[in-house]
Structure 1
Amino acid sequence: MDDTALQSLVADDTSGQALAYVLARAEASDGTVTYDAVSDAVAPETWGRLLKTGALVPIHDAFVVDDPPTVRAALAEVGIEETTNLEQDITETDSSAWSTADKLAGVGALGLMAGYRIPTIKSAIVGPMDLVLGPVAGILPFPLLIVVLATVTALVSTGVRRQLLDEDRMNAHKERMQQVRDQLAAAKQRDDGAAVDRLTDRQQELMRNQLGMFKQMFRPIVWTMLVTIPVFLWLSWFVVDPSGAIVSVAPIVPMVDRIIWSAHLVGPMQVWMVWYFVSSFTSNLLVKRATNRLFDCQRQSVAQ
């Protein structure tokens, strides 16, 4: 494209804005662009003018902007900035930092974890927990009690995760990572060095942002531990507590026959622990599926 044609394009506000949009879209991907990708902002006649003047050059089944540095300089001269008006890319912001409450919850979780090793801390936790769960244990059979507690912790865990994590944002980030990988592979295949460099930088930026998202994923875990650790400590105490001797009644385990709840199966793993983990895993799976269906139904109703 000659300088006269380029100056004519950027002098026209509509064509100049369209050229800036197309250039930004191309550089946001692998250096190529199609009309379908910009049809939301570029009219067909404007797209045709870009082709006719040579601003866009066909390559395989897409197009590239002819001489991007020159085009960018010409746009800057008339005060047109590259813009895509796309959804803002996912970047790490201050929202990824833990709040004071999150940090306090983390300290509290560490203190509760110490209850596994320090008897005085365990006693301080178990006492209040027994005031709440003791009457429930007197009503429900022990296997059912574990199922109920596992379900409650699953509900808490799912609720906290929904509240503290933006799963749509995380999924969008994963999709963007996959898009960049695909675009980088395509750029390498056609030996487009400029696109490879640009996409490599973008991939590294997304990977840095992903580290911030990993840090965010620990927030719901910390808050959930404030519930799960006291429950687990109380169960470990209740199984061996003389006043709860009924807990030691031998249940029938398929292919094993009768075995007491406090018996060791593998290493330190006791029967009641295995039952708790199985119940917790199943409850988490069912609760997540139920909440996902509920949110999907709500989204569909809003969309309609």
Structure 2
Amino acid sequence: MPRIESKVRTLASDDGMREAVETVLERTDDGETEVKWLDVKGDITSGQWGRLIEKEVLVEGEEGFRVADAEATRAGLEPASGEDTSTSSGSVTEIPDDDESSWSKYDKGAALVTVGLFVGYSWKPLRDLIGTVMDVVLGPLGEMLPFYAVVMILALATGLYSTLLQANLMNMDKMSAYQERMKDIQERRKEAKEAGDDDALDAIQEEQMDAMGDQLGMFKEQFRPMVWIMFLTIPVFLWMYWAIGVGQNASAHVPLDPLVLPLRGEVGWTDSVIGPIQAWIVWYFLCSMGFTQIIRKSLNIDISPTTS
């Protein structure tokens, strides 16, 4: 089986896994007999045992586990004979190294600035400063168009760069690999539970604990584009705060006609329409959600990870 050979070759490149494969081959008499976790507990770790099951080098037998294909497993332990086994149709997608998607100094800098920008929501001097600076760019737009149209344009712009940032900064292959690994562990755990194999359950449980780090990796992948989105969007929000006159002792800096919302009719920009949520925020999010869906469909961008 070329697929088994490719899997074993990949495993053998990791520290300790070559010895683990050789151990199970020896204990199963080159695949002739079955082996249980207790039989090899002193020679290989539970994590190595779990990886052998995960990669299907070991498959479930009648009373324990057996080597799926001893000949292919032996071939996988041999040095490659020049052919590129990583491109064979049976190769297994591995989770990319964390270094491939580690945050750059620019990502970290943007995150630090973003944290500082959050202060503007509660501290009026900073909000007024950012609003005044942003008004140099956005002020002429407010003079040419009614404010509801300005908010629509801002929602379109934020929806566009948010979609592009998510599509370009998020490693979808890695996200898919994370989800595929967790799905595989859950399926094998279910099968072992149905078979009543406590040894396999213990090994899979250990592997599942090791895989918890994947959750952190997924969070890092999702949060990286979010940092840049907030870095660009918070100043826009603070300008709208400043322009509309949100907060105590604040006054509007642009002419504001009443806003007409679906199901609510005519309301003031700072009127509460959904609990404490004010009308201008509702209008912005309605526009943003609509434009974002149109942008994704138009550009054929899908930011949902897929598993095979």
Aligned twin of 2:59? 32
- CA 116–206 in structure 1, closer or farther in 2 if over 3 Å, else same: same
Q: Which has the higher helix share?
A: 1
1:29·1:180 contact (CA, 8 Å) conserved in 2? no
- CA 282–6 in structure 1, closer or farther in 2 if over 3 Å, else same: same
- CA 270–107 in structure 1, closer or farther in 2 if over 3 Å, else same: same
Measure, in 2, the Cα distance between the counterparts of 1:295 and 1:264.
34
Do structure 1's residue 272 and structure 2's residue 272 form an aligned pair? no
- CA 244–294 in structure 1, closer or farther in 2 if over 3 Å, else same: closer
2:54·2:185 contact (CA, 8 Å) conserved in 1? no
Measure, in 2, the Cα distance between the counterparts of 1:255 and 1:154.
24
**Which letter does structure 2 place at the counterpart of 1:189?**
E
SS at match of 1:244: coil
SS at match of 2:243: helix
Do structure 1's residue 261 and structure 2's residue 269 form an aligned pair? yes
Aligned twin of 2:204? 199
- CA 213–252 in structure 1, closer or farther in 2 if over 3 Å, else same: closer
Structure 1 or 2, whichever has the larger Rg, is: 1
Measure, in 2, the Cα distance between the counterparts of 1:267 and 1:87.
51
Tell me by how many angstroms 1:121 deviates. 1.5
Q: Deviations over 1:23-46 (max 9, x none)?
A: x8755249427xxxxxxxxxxxxx
Do structure 1's residue 250 and structure 2's residue 258 form an aligned pair? yes
* Long gaps (5+) in structure 1: 10-23, 34-57, 297-304
TM-score by length of 1: 0.67
1:102·1:219 contact (CA, 8 Å) conserved in 2? yes
1:26·1:64 contact (CA, 8 Å) conserved in 2? no
Aligned twin of 1:65? 67
- CA 268–139 in structure 1, closer or farther in 2 if over 3 Å, else same: same
SS at match of 1:32: strand
1:165 paired residue among 170, 194, 197 = 170
Q: How many residues align?
A: 244
SS at match of 1:203: helix
Tell me by how many angstroms 1:255 deviates. 4.7
Tell me by how many angstroms 1:262 deviates. 2.2
Measure, in 2, the Cα distance between the counterparts of 1:204 and 1:29.
19
- CA 164–181 in structure 1, closer or farther in 2 if over 3 Å, else same: same
1:164·1:219 contact (CA, 8 Å) conserved in 2? yes
1:126·1:237 contact (CA, 8 Å) conserved in 2? yes
1:30·1:196 contact (CA, 8 Å) conserved in 2? no
- CA 79–142 in structure 1, closer or farther in 2 if over 3 Å, else same: closer
Tell me by how many angstroms 1:88 deviates. 4.5
**Which letter does structure 1 place at the counterpart of 2:193?**
K
Q: Deviations over 1:37-85 (max 9, x none)?
A: xxxxxxxxxxxxxxxxxxxxx759xx9329x9xx79x96xx99369996
Tell me by how many angstroms 1:230 deviates. 0.8
Tell me by how many angstroms 1:126 deviates. 1.2
Over aligned residue pairs, what C-alpha RMSD do you find?
Answer: 3.8
1:30·1:187 contact (CA, 8 Å) conserved in 2? no
Measure, in 2, the Cα distance between the counterparts of 1:259 and 1:231.
22
Tell me by how many angstroms 1:90 deviates. 1.5
Do structure 1's residue 114 and structure 2's residue 119 form an aligned pair? yes
Measure, in 2, the Cα distance between the counterparts of 1:82 and 1:205.
29
Q: Percent identity?
A: 33
